[in-house]
C-alpha cells in the first residue's frame, strides 16, 4: 500500500478526472469539508474534556490542511500538517502509555492509533512530494478516526458505531488516480450489513434515509463494477449522491440528539 501512494500515476482518461474535479469543486451539492461535529459534541461535556480538547485542536488543524490542499497551497498545507502531526505524536505517546477513560477496555484502541499515525504519515509524504490531489480525502477519513478515538475514550457506543460506518463510507470514494483499489473497496464493502447494524431510530425520516442509503450504495456498486480502466460519470455521481444522503441523515440524528441521549 505504501508503494501505491508513494507516486501518483498519470490518469489514462483525462476527461474522467476533469469531471471528478468538476464534482468536487463546482457541483452545487459538492462534498463538504471534513466534519468533526461529533468530536465537538464530546468536548467539554465529559470527564475526558482535556483529552477531547487536544484531539479537537489537532482535528481542526487537519481540516484546515485539507482545505489548503484543495487550493493547492503547498507551503501553508505543509506547515500546518507538521504542526498537527507533532501535536498528534505527543498526544499519542501520552495515551498509549496511559490510556484515558474507557480506551484501555476497547480492543480497537491500539490499532486505531496506528491507523491515524499511518494516515498522517502518508499525508506528510504526499505534501512533501507536492502531490496534493488525494490529501483532502485521506485527511477527511483521519478526522473521522480522531472522532472515533474520542468516542472510544468516552465510551459512547452510539458514536463508535456511527463513526465506524462513516469511515467505511468515506473509504468508498472513487479515486480516479487509484482506480483498481477504489473499485475493489466498493465491490468488497459490507455496507448494507454495517448500515443495518447501526440500530437507528425508527422515525419515518431516518428510515427513509437509511433505505435511500442502501439503494444508492447498490447503484454505486453496480456502476463501479461495470467501469473499466476509469470511473464513469455515473459512478462518480452515484457516490456523491450516497455521500449527501449520509450527510443529511447525520444532520437528522444530530437534530434529534441521538448521540447525546441514552
Alpha-carbon span 18 to 15, nearest angstrom: 5
Percentage of the chain modeled with pLDDT above 90: 66
pLDDT digits (tens, 9 = 90+) for 123-152: 999 999 998 888 988 999 999 999 999 999
Question: Are 130 and 7 contacting, i.e. CB atoms less than 8 angstroms apart?
Answer: no
- Burial classification of residue 109, based on how many CB atoms lie within 10 Å of its CB (0-12 exposed, 13-18 middle, 19 or more buried): middle
Q: Identify the pLDDT of residue 49.
A: 76
**Which grid coordinates are listed for 98?**
496511559
pLDDT digits (tens, 9 = 90+) for 180-230: 999 999 999 999 999 999 989 999 999 999 999 999 999 999 999 999 999
pLDDT digits (tens, 9 = 90+) for 234-260: 999 999 999 999 999 999 999 988 888
Q: What is the mean pLDDT of residues 76-80?
A: 95
Q: Identify the pLDDT of residue 261.
A: 66
Q: Which residues contact 88 (CB under 8 A, 6 or more apart)?
A: 58, 116, 117, 120
Strand (E) positions, 27-158? none
Query: Locate cell 498528534: which residue?
Result: 88
Alpha-carbon span 58 to 17, nearest angstrom: 31
Look at residue 166 and give its three-state secondary structure. Answer: helix
Amino acid at each position: 500500500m505504501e508503494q501505491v501512494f508513494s507516486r501518483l500515476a498519470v490518469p489514462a482518461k483525462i476527461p474522467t478526472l476533469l469531471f471528478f474535479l468538476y464534482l468536487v469543486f463546482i457541483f452545487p451539492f459538492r462534498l463538504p469539508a471534513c466534519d468533526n461535529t461529533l468530536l465537538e459534541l464530546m468536548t467539554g461535556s465529559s470527564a475526558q474534556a482535556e483529552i477531547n480538547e487536544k484531539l479537537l485542536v489537532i482535528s481542526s488543524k487537519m481540516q484546515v490542511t485539507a482545505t489548503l490542499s484543495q487550493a493547492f497551497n503547498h507551503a501553508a498545507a505543509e506547515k500546518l500538517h507538521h504542526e498537527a502531526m507533532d501535536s498528534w505524536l505527543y498526544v499519542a505517546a501520552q495515551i498509549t502509555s496511559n490510556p484515558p477513560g474507557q480506551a484501555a477496555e476497547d480492543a480497537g484502541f491500539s490499532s486505531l492509533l496506528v491507523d491515524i499515525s499511518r494516515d498522517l504519515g502518508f499525508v506528510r509524504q504526499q505534501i512533501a512530494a507536492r502531490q496534493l490531489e488525494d490529501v483532502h480525502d485521506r485527511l477527511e477519513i483521519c478526522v473521522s478516526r480522531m472522532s472515533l478515538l474520542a468516542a472510544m475514550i468516552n465510551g459512547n457506543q452510539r458514536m463508535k458505531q456511527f463513526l465506524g460506518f462513516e469511515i467505511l463510507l468515506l473509504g468508498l470514494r472513487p479515486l480516479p488516480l487509484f482506480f483498481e483499489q477504489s473499485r475493489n473497496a466498493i465491490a468488497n464493502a459490507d455496507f448494507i450489513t454495517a448500515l443495518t447494524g447501526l440500530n437507528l431510530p425508527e422515525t419515518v425520516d431516518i428510515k427513509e434515509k437509511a433505505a435511500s442509503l442502501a439503494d444508492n450504495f447498490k447503484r454505486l456498486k453496480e456502476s463501479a463494477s461495470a467501469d473499466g480502466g476509469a470511473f464513469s460519470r455515473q459512478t462518480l455521481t452515484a457516490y456523491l449522491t450516497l455521500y449527501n444522503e449520509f450527510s443529511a441523515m447525520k444532520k437528522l440524528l444530530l437534530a434529534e440528539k441521538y448521540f447525546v441521549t441514552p
